[in-house]
Structure formats: C-alpha cells, structure tokens
Amino acid sequence: MSENALTPGIIAGRLDAASLAENFSDLHPPLDDHEALVAADRCYFCHDAPCMTACPTTIDIPLFIRQIATGTPEAAAETILNQNILGGMCARVCPTETLCEEVCVREAAEGKPVLIGQLQRYATDVLMATGKHPFARAEPTGKKVAVVGAGPAGLACAHRLAMLGHDVVVFDGRNKPGGLNEFGIASYKSVDGFAEREVDWLLQIGGITIKTGKRLGREVALADLRAAYDAVFLAIGLGGVNALGLAGEDKDGLSDAVDFIAELRQTGDLTKLPIGRDVVVIGGGMTAVDAAVQAKLLGALNVSLVYRRGRDRMNASRFEQDLAASKGVRIITNAAPVAVHGNGAVREIEFEYTDNDLNPTGQTFRLPADQVFKAIGQTLEGDDLPVLEARKIAVTGPGRTSVERVWAGGDCAAGGDDLTVTAVAEGRDTAIDIHATLVG
C-alpha cells in the first residue's frame, strides 16, 4: 500500500507511536502462575469431556488442565503439543468461544466457561520459554517427502513426518515460513513475533529443510516433486481473492484485506503505515473483522464493516463481531455493494439492502470512503493440480488426492472449515497416512 496523490485521505501517522503500541498490545494478556491455577481449579475434569470432542485436534483438555492444577505446566504443554504442535498459536487465535469453551460444562451451568484457550497458552508458553523441544526423531526411514506450503497444515505435517523418521523439505512462495499465522492474523492476536518464534521452535525436531521463495507452478512443479520425492503434501492455502465484480473496482484506494493485514503484520513501524479517514470493509468473516478492527486501531475516524447477510450468518464469531463493535467499528448487515464511485480514486461505495434470501430490495445507500478493503473470500490458485471439488483440491480419507503419492490439506483442500486448528489436524493426520503408505 502506498500513499497516492489521488487518495489524499490515506495517510500515515494518524496516531503517535505510544498510542499505536497500546492499541496493538496483546488482546488477551497471558495468565500469571496464580491466575492459571485459579482458572484450572474451575475445571470439572469431565470423563466424557465435551470440550475434547469439540477440539479439531482432540487435545485431552481435562488432562492438561489437571497437569496445570498440579503444578506441572510443562507436562501439560506436552499433552497439548502431542496433538497440536502449533498449540501456542492456536491458543491465541482459535475461536474457542465456538469450539471447546462453547460446550464447556461451566458455560452451560454458569455462562462462564473454563478459560481453556488461555490455559493452553499458559502451558505452551512455559515450555517454549525453557527452550526445550520435547519430541525426538525416530530412526531414519530413508524416505523423502516434499511439503508445499509452510502454513499451519504444512508445518504440522512436516513436524509429524520428521518425528516418524522421514526427511522433509518444505517449499513456500513467501520470504519466510508461517503462512496464515505469520501473514494473515491480526497483530494484536500474536504479538512480539510469536509466529516466527514458534516456527523456529518447531524446527528443533530436525530433519526439516525450509526453502522460501518457491511457489508451486512457478519455481517448483508438481511433476518434478513427484519424481524427486517419495510423497508430496500440498498445503498451498488459498492465494487468490474474490472480486466484487463491479465497475470501478480498480480505482485507487480499493484493495484486498489480506494484503493489508499481511503488510501490517510485517511492518516494523506502524506510524509509517497509511490508513484512510473513512474506511469500508466488505465481508463478514474473520479477515473482514481483523481488517476493520486494525483500521480503527491505526487511527481511521470512521470504519464500517458491511456484509450482505444478517449477523447470524457471518462467519466471524459473535465474540469477533462484539470485539469489532467495542473498538468503534460500525457493522451494517443485509447490504450488498452495487457501485464504486469516484474519479480515479474511490470516494463512495454504494450498497443495496437485501432480504434474508439475498434478494435486492431496491433501497440503496452510499458510504463515504477513501479506503475500501475486500474480504469476500479467497480462491485456490495454481495449474496442473489434482482433481478439484467445489474449487478446492478433492480429497478422500486423510488428504489423499486423485494423484498417486500426492496428498493435500488445509485451506486448499475440500471439506475443511478454514480454521488454523483444523489445518493443523489435517496436516498431522495426513502425515500419519503418508508414513503408513511409505513404510508399507
């Protein structure tokens, strides 16, 4: 993003460094030792724990909380990481309010669940602070596996394969690994470079080589990988962004929310990041909320998030919606964009109200905007891929594609729900299936 003479409303330094530092501080400050013990003491340690069933990675939540309660947080971390090697990041970004905490017995009885996500963060942070990596590699199998994509699915798969004794090479198109965790999540959810530190910690298992700047279909080809490796795991995510399909979509000031979030995550000085005075975000998912909230935190005066359906149909959780509202984001629902107005640069976005079936009502309104972010979904990019299903790679069982010795998982594979924790589960389970296939 760059300042443009046609978009005078988009400027840097709307807030000073101190204000920005406060705005982008940790969304959930970590629990201290006493707070963790108090929080753990609220768990009933259910034998048929619904929280464990609700966790996509099936972490034994009652066990790790009991381990915290008995003063052994490092053991708790091992319980977590055995199922979810990216448990530290998932503790920060998982929508626990709609997964494990939503079904917590305390939530049903009192409307206040056990702080499962914060307890998971506490345990994993304690272990990572020691510098220890609690897992070791098995005897070498002599097999080599290529993993394409260094996001949550790719890293989880690579780590489990390395544990099982395989040599793994991870290819990624960006200049550093981490994928969504590094480039696609709001800064206030992952402060102090945690995503990068977690990747460094994960690589301590050994047997994993990371090659950045290697994008599938550009620097590397699937056919070449199949020829050089015993197995290939595709975890390439969704690189494309859906278009609004409106005339004027190429006007200055209108861009993709994912690019805005990535630039914000990688900038070293938030005072240098330009932001508009009147910002409109189009979409209703986590990316839309992250973009809208961060635009407000950067100093935008008016931020509106507009979604074509009702709030009950937004992909962003109610917690995320309420967070946006609490930061001053105006949420407008049942409205679809119909026109972009402006001479060279966007000046207004016109919307039309819709009914619950997305039928236009004929009622329109305009929002002033010098900056507009699209967050209406992402698409799979790439040529010569395995058979697709619903515009994603079709898979059966644990990530098996239509191409022999090629697996896929994470956001690029059909059937998932586009969550970090689900991607980790798919990467882990695919690694186990790859191992079983390679060793017969």
* pLDDT, tens digit (0-9, with 9 covering 90-100), for 431-440: 999 999 999 8
pLDDT at 210: 98
Tokens encoding 80: 């977590």
Task: Name the DSSP letter for residue 267.
Answer: -
Mean pLDDT of the chain: 96
pLDDT tier for residue 1 given thresholds of 50, 70 and 90: very low
Output the CA–CA distances (angstroms, integers) from residue 406 to 147, 153, 179, 414, in the order listed. Answer: 10, 15, 20, 15
- Per-residue buried b or exposed e for 289-325, using 16+ beta carbons within 10 Å of the residue's own CB: bbbbbbbbbbbbebbbbbbbbeeeebbbbeebbebbe
Q: Which helix (H) or strand (E) holds 295?
A: helix 286-297
In 94-206, which residue ranges form alpha helices assigned H by DSSP? 105-110, 116-130, 152-163, 180-183, 194-202
pLDDT tens sequence across 5-62: 457 899 999 999 999 999 999 999 999 999 999 999 999 999 899 999 999 999 999 9
Q: How far apart are CA 136 and CA 193, in angstroms?
A: 25
pLDDT(3) > 70:
no
pLDDT(350) > 80:
yes
What residue type is 368 in one-letter code? Answer: P
Residue 169's nearest CA partner among 224, 211, 212, 199 is: 211
Q: How far apart are CA 198 and CA 92, in angstroms?
A: 12
pLDDT at 440: 81
pLDDT at 5: 44
Tokens encoding 98: 């709609």
pLDDT at 235: 98
What is the rounded average pLDDT of the residues 394-398? Answer: 95
What is the rounded average pLDDT of the residues 287-307? Answer: 98
pLDDT tens sequence across 190-245: 999 999 999 999 999 999 999 999 999 999 999 999 999 999 999 999 999 999 99
* Domains observed in the chain: 17-21+242-377 (3.50.50.60), 33-130 (1.10.1060.10), 144-239+380-439 (3.50.50.60)
Listed in order, strand segments (DSSP E) in 249-334 are 254-256, 278-282, 302-306, 330-332
- Per-residue buried b or exposed e for 388-403, using 16+ beta carbons within 10 Å of the residue's own CB: eeeebbbbeebbbbeb
pLDDT tens sequence across 89-131: 999 999 999 999 999 999 999 999 999 999 999 999 999 999 9
What predicted TM-score, i.e. pTM, was given to this entire model?
0.96
pLDDT tier for residue 416 given thresholds of 50, 70 and 90: confident
pLDDT at 118: 98
pLDDT at 417: 83
Q: How far apart are CA 132 and CA 130, in angstroms?
A: 5
